Amino acid sequence: MLSRFVSRAILQIVSTRLTIPSIAHRLQSSTSNSKSDRQQTSSTSGIKEIDENESFLNSRDAAQAIADEEIIDSVEQATSDRAEKISQAMKNYLMKSREKQKVLDEKNYEYEIGRRHLARIMGEDPEEFNQEKIDDALSYLLPSGLLDERARPKMRPPEEMYPKEKAVQFDKAGRPFHFLYYTAKHNYYDVLHTVANKIEELKKGEVAMLASGREPDYSQNDEFNYTQWESKEIFEKRFLEKLDDEQYKTLIICLNRLVKNPMAYTIKDYINSFRTKLADTISKQHIEPVKKKDKFSFQKKN
């Protein structure tokens, strides 16, 4: 009886030992299966997340690309509109220049015909009849006692008689060549700007000279007493711009400040470019002396 009980216990122990590894193997296999399932599930979810992220990024890139295209289109549209405006401005300028050139061509044709007729009247060769001979012929055929030279008859080429105009002041992109272009009189304001800068430079030079113990040579400014500023008409021809009396007055005031500076003689070349000699402003007409004939030349011989 005891032996049977012992044998049964041994069999149970052996079976238990055999069962435990199988259970552990099953548990391990089930655990590995669950891990693999989890990994597969996680990988699947990761792939889904990646796909979702990629789709989101793709949609965002597409939206950004659309926005960029809209911006580019707007910029191109603005550029094209600006180009159209610039081209229209250029067309207007070219149209005006062509009209002026057409008038000049007609006047040149008339001048050439008149020059040849005048040469034949004077018995000269039309091909060698220059401007000096034209002036001599007019003074001979149309003598004038008027002292003002502008009132005397004249015959000049149309390029000298018609006022000059400015060339185009901007490039193909519409950018002005001069930084004072939008003042509408950039040549005039450029001179004012330059004069103001030169006044400041002269002040600094005077301070530096006095600091070094020297004094400016004031006597060298005396040469400006023999010249005067050019007239408003001369400045208008120089600037190719119309000036009113107030603008001309402002210009002369600024130039006088420049001349009154003790260091003005250091830039006398610049100052004299706007001045003219007093002797040249007085126009004198050359009058032939009275020719007296001998009183006996009119007597008849017996």
Which DSSP string do the residues of 1-15 spell out, in sequence order?
-HHHHHHHHHHHHHH
List the chain pLDDT tens, one digit each, 302 residues. 545 554 555 555 545 554 544 544 554 555 555 545 555 555 555 555 555 555 544 565 555 556 555 555 554 555 555 545 556 666 666 677 778 778 888 888 999 999 999 999 999 998 889 989 998 998 888 888 777 777 888 888 888 887 666 665 666 655 666 666 677 788 888 999 999 999 999 999 888 888 888 888 878 888 888 888 999 988 988 888 888 999 999 999 999 999 998 888 889 899 999 998 875 444 455 555 655 655 544 444 44
Per-residue pLDDT at 281: 45
Per-residue pLDDT at 53: 52
Q: What is this structure's pTM?
A: 0.47
| Spatial contact of 153 and 138, defined as CB atoms under 8 Å apart | yes
Per-residue pLDDT at 253: 94
Structure-block tokens of residue 230 = 């050019």
Per-residue pLDDT at 34: 52
| Spatial contact of 137 and 118, defined as CB atoms under 8 Å apart | yes
- The 10s digit of each residue's pLDDT in 14-53 is 455 545 445 445 545 555 555 455 555 555 555 555 555 5
CA 32 to chain centre: 80
Closest CA to 222 of 255, 268, 253, 257: 268
Longest Cα separation, the chain? 212
- For 118, residues 6+ apart whose C-beta sits below 8 A from its C-beta are 129, 134, 137, 155
Q: Left if phi > 0, otherwise alpha if psi is -120 to 50, otherwise beta: which for 252?
A: alpha
24, 41, 107, 177, 200 from 33: Cα distances, Å:
14, 12, 107, 81, 93
In sequence order, the β-bridge partners of residue 176 are: 170
Give the Cβ contact number of residue 251 at 10 Å. Answer: 21
- The 10s digit of each residue's pLDDT in 60-102 is 555 555 655 555 555 455 555 554 555 666 666 667 777 877 8
Given the DSSP bridges, would you call strands 275-277 and 227-229 parallel, antiparallel or unpaired?
A: antiparallel
